[in-house]
Amino acid sequence: MSKIYRGLAFMVLVVFSVVSRAELPDFRDLVKETSPAVVNISTVQHIEAAGFQQRYGLPQDVPEIFRHFFGGPGGQQGAPGEEERASLGSGFIISDDGYILTNNHVVKDADEIVVRLNDRRELDAKLIGADESSDLALLKVEAKDLPTVELGNSDKLDVGEWVVAIGSPFGFDYSVTAGIVSAKGRSLPNENYVPFIQTDVAINPGNSGGPLFNLDGEVVGINSQIYTRSGGFMGVSFAIPINVALDVADQLKEKGKVSRGWLGVVIQEVSKDLAESFGLDKAAGALVAQVVPDSPAEAAGLESGDIITRFDGKDIYLSSDLPHQVGRIKPGEKAKIDIVRNGKRKTLNVEIGVLPDSDGAELAMNSGDPQEHASKRLGVVVAELSGRQRKAVGDGVIVKEVKRGPAAFSGLVNGDIITNIAGDAVTSVDEFERIAKDLPANRSVPMRIVRRGSAMFIPLRINE
């Protein structure tokens, strides 16, 4: 009897194992079929190198043989008077004649772009166009009969659906990671025009610009950034929907730039207290704080104090939902806007305009005038974080302008968020000013920043 029981137990275990394995997806065929169309992208930027004394604080009489050890990145000196900075990312081929999609931040300011294919060929790429607002770039290599990806429909993605990323994290080519769709339509700080796909797929530096596949082997997104407090992957990744990316790519290919819909309002979040004061049942919608003169919003009859609850048939729950909804509508098309005005609901018709190039005419911006501070010692202007930014990254200050000085030399750029300097947390503009004044001269200190959702440390040195 004992043998029978053991036999039955073994059969149950085998059946359970088979069923368990059957419930999990097998990515092997997907990876084999799609990998040939995924590429590695490396860039080179030529910049003027600072003098040895300025850069390292070396005395004039240091022999040349020792200066060799203070060469360019990776121990390479490069040509006198200039140095090279290389970056690494991913991309994928969308047409057999050589068009490639990637992130703008992968190729931004690059003097040279090199694409390495799955068969180890390396091809020089030309930048057809880039769109900073959506963080997308379209490249072109001179080749024929290239393998291409199958393009899916990101609007049909479901939360909980399996997705797969292929890219080059930390330079490890064709690394495969998998996870599920955690959420759709995410709005991120300073990212007005992209309703991001949130996943728990492991994404790290080098994955940027790489494809996100569904189980049918179709590209549904472009891996763009992560949310992190540690500088590494923490289970929250964001991808640009492929439907958004293809619209941008078509415009870049046709015109070299992107035209977006423009409404012309300054909006803010609807808090619980504001909702009650406006007679709303719940805190939802986008409160119009200001209507831009001579804008489509003014022509449609929108007024300050209106609360936009629906736009073009889609509910507006957060004020951040509005920009990417308006931005996706082509200029000249018409849309309906549902509003609440003085406790009464109305519907307005608007003809969408073209988003002006000026940063001062944003589709939707936060109201208020955050405190700013210009640090002459560091050569940088910083400002307080908005509520959404603080919620996303914690304490810090945002870089508004980088001037000539230590900040520029350290590699800071506009939009970086400084969270820590030399071990001291930067909690406000006033705290930043205090820390900057007390920094030691002629010695590098670590500075932690958050750039496009990714945390990193960079050295900061004040030569005095």
| CATH number of domain containing 454 | 2.30.42.10
Shared-domain flag, residues 379 and 336: no
Residue 77 has pLDDT above 70, yes or no: no
Shared-domain flag, residues 122 and 216: no
Shared-domain flag, residues 305 and 251: no
Shared-domain flag, residues 298 and 321: yes
> Which of 167-181, 213-227, 411-425 has the least mean pLDDT?
411-425
The CA-to-CA distance between both ends of the chain, in Å, stands at 88
Final residue of a domain: which of 233, 255, 277? 255
* 105 in catalytic set: yes
Which of 208, 295, 320, 375 is the catalytic position?
208
Shared-domain flag, residues 293 and 314: yes
Do 413 and 399 form a contact (C-beta atoms < 8 A)?
yes
Instruction: Work out the pLDDT band at 370, boundaries 50, 70, 90.
Output: low
Q: How many domains does the structure of the chain reveal?
A: 4
* 444 in catalytic set: no
* 26 in catalytic set: no
pLDDT, residue 334, reads 94
Phi-psi category of 178—alpha, beta or left, where left has phi over 0 and alpha has psi -120 to 50?
beta
In 215-260, DSSP assigns E strands to 218-226, 237-241
Residue 4 lies in a domain: no
pLDDT, residue 137, reads 96
Do 257 and 251 form a contact (C-beta atoms < 8 A)?
yes
Residue 366 lies in a domain: no
Find all residues with CB under 8 Å of 405, minimum gap 6, and list them.
Answer: 376, 377, 378, 379, 380
> 289 or 156, which is more confident?
156
Shared-domain flag, residues 249 and 266: no
pLDDT, residue 33, reads 96
Which of 135, 173, 306, 312 is the catalytic position?
135
CA atoms of 119 and 39, how far apart (whole Å): 10
Instruction: Work out the pLDDT band at 69, boundaries 50, 70, 90.
Output: very low
What mean pLDDT is reported for the chain?
82
Which of 105, 131, 154, 173 is the catalytic position?
105
Final residue of a domain: which of 141, 167, 187? 141
Residue 27 lies in a domain: no
Instruction: Work out the pLDDT band at 296, boundaries 50, 70, 90.
Output: very high
Q: What is the pTM of this model?
A: 0.64
What share of the chain has pLDDT > 90, as a percent? 43
Shared-domain flag, residues 352 and 396: no
Final residue of a domain: which of 230, 255, 280? 255
What average pLDDT does range 323-346 have in this prediction?
89
Residue 30 lies in a domain: no
Residue 9 lies in a domain: no
CATH code for the domain of 178:
2.40.10.10
Residue 28 lies in a domain: no
pLDDT digits (tens, 9 = 90+) for 11-21: 555 555 544 55
pLDDT digits (tens, 9 = 90+) for 218-263: 999 999 998 877 777 888 999 999 999 999 999 999 988 888 889 9
Q: Which domain holds residue 176?
A: 155-255
Find all residues with CB under 8 Å of 97, minimum gap 6, and list them.
Answer: 143, 144, 146
pLDDT, residue 48, reads 63
> 66 or 249, which is more confident?
249
Residue 17 lies in a domain: no
Shared-domain flag, residues 424 and 407: yes
Shared-domain flag, residues 268 and 202: no
pLDDT, residue 237, reads 94
Shared-domain flag, residues 53 and 106: yes
Give counts: helices (H), strands (E), the chain: 12, 28
Residue 149 lies in a domain: no
Shared-domain flag, residues 273 and 242: no
Shared-domain flag, residues 136 and 160: no
